[in-house]
Amino acid sequence: MTDDTSQQVTVVGAGVVGLCMALRLQRLGKQVLLIDRQRAGTGTSSGNAGYIATETIDPLSTLETLRSVPGQLFKRHGALKLPMQYLPKAAPWLMRFALSASPSRVERGRQALVSLNSQAVEAWRRCLTDIGAAGALRNAGHLLVWESASTAGPRRLADHLARYGIHAEWQSEAAVRERIPALSSRVSQGLWFSQTAKITDPAVLCRRLFDAFVARGGQWSQQGITHVQSDGQQAVLQGERNTIVTRQVVIAAGAYSHRLCADLGLDVPLETERGYHLTLPEARDLLPHSLESAERHCVLSPLHSGLRIVGFSEIGGLDMPPRQSRFASLQIHLRVLLDGPDGFADSPRTWMGYRPTLPDSLPVLDRHPSKPNVFMAFGHQHLGLTQAAVSAEWLADAIVYGTFAECLAPFRVTRFRATSHLSSLAHSREDDTAK
């Protein structure tokens, strides 16, 4: 069956990025069809800490990160994990990730992240005010803590961030405990970020965005899209239930986006960072604001649904089941960082989701190089919630007005062509090994 629709734009992917894209396109006068295989906003976008992480401006791949990889991989409760059975498949991406750690590439990536993050909060404020949900975003400080007593690391980080206009105030042990009385005695100091914001609950946020989209006449189809084709004038989407013809398409399918891009002749090195969380419904009031551990690389956040701890970067693709040991590690981090009531971490809700990550830690916000009716918005790694609204503003404006501003240049999909031979070489070696 073929549905020859009159939709002007179809957005594939109803996570927070796709939802913001659909709403922004509506505001600019487009008729929009939104498609996802899951209910809108119930995938990875529902599982974050609700924290608008505007101070996260360093790409994931740096020389410092690469030096820390062995220790994190072999540390029992370390934040980085790579299941050995997935290593052959991850090898091409890991090669590109390592190459992205050169100082010049890191600085270019950092500048690009600063450009997005610096406008993130105001973009969210505009988006939520427009749909009558301004209360979903609130100003809230964020505390980054250390168990180490050495002040060298915190002060070095504060100086580094100050060079990019981000203010962080060093806090003594007494000061951090005054801010969060539930902190354990293991915590010795911190950095306080006073100019941050948070979402009261990411799952509720997605529902509000979706309800506003539908109320304004947006169309919704819950089905997976298996293939996409385009002749530059119209796109044909092969769905699980039917075929959809549309004038323009935006691929915003998160960790699945590269599969659709491959149909369109694009080799996008997208990998899945599997993230884990625990939510404790009865412990929401333990924290007045979000808390992050510099050494344990996890974030704790009070949400309407409970106290949530989010952590791990597990390079593991889309098919393996969750590792129960990751949840156990999060419980240990929770008990070490907080002095909660006895048994407060005994029966949390567990969750695992897929962060779409590119080697240079920048998203793709672009138009297809040879099919002018195909657009892409994916690859936001840990910053999907932070960057969703501003990404939607920048790309939707380009779609509607046909002018790509210079701010989008760092996020072109063609930036990966220069290293595409690495993937081919790695796959060739895998094929030789298989023979």
Q: Model confidence over 382-428: pLDDT tens digits? A: 999 999 999 999 999 999 999 888 999 999 999 987 544 444 443 44
Model pLDDT, residue 7: 56
Is 337 in contact with 183 (CB distance < 8 Å)? Answer: yes
- 11 and 22 in contact (C-beta within 8 Å)? yes
Per-residue pLDDT, 433: 32
* C-alpha span between 357 and 379 (Å, rounded): 5
- What's the confidence (pLDDT) of residue 387? 98
Contacts of 373 (CB under 8 A, 6+ apart): 230, 232, 233, 234, 235, 247, 248, 249
- Cα–Cα dist 158/161, whole Å: 5
How many residues can be counted in the chain?
435
pLDDT of residue 344: 80
Q: Specify whether the CB–CB gap between 187 and 106 falls below 8 A.
A: no
Q: What is the pLDDT of residue 343?
A: 76
Query: What is the dihedral sign for C-alpha 353, 358, 359, 361?
Result: negative
Give the chain's largest Cα–Cα span. Answer: 67
- Would you state the pLDDT for residue 342? 79
Domains and CATH numbers, the chain: 2-141+196-434 (3.50.50.60)
CB 62 within 8 A of CB 105: no
Given this model, what pLDDT does residue 71 score?
85
Residues of the chain short of pLDDT 70, as ranges, are 1-7, 418-435
Q: Which residue spans within 231-287 are E strands per DSSP?
A: 235-239, 243-246, 248-251, 271-280
Provide the β-strand partners of residue 228: 237
pLDDT in tens, 10-55: 999 999 999 999 999 999 999 999 999 999 999 999 999 999 999 9
- CB of 80 closer than 8 Å to CB of 382: no
CA distance linking residue 120 with residue 342, whole number of Å:
39
Structure tokens at 366: 């672009």
CA atoms of 400 and 355, how far apart (whole Å): 28
- Going from the C-alpha of 428 to that of each of 67, 267, 320, 358, 434, the distances in angstroms are 28, 15, 24, 21, 10
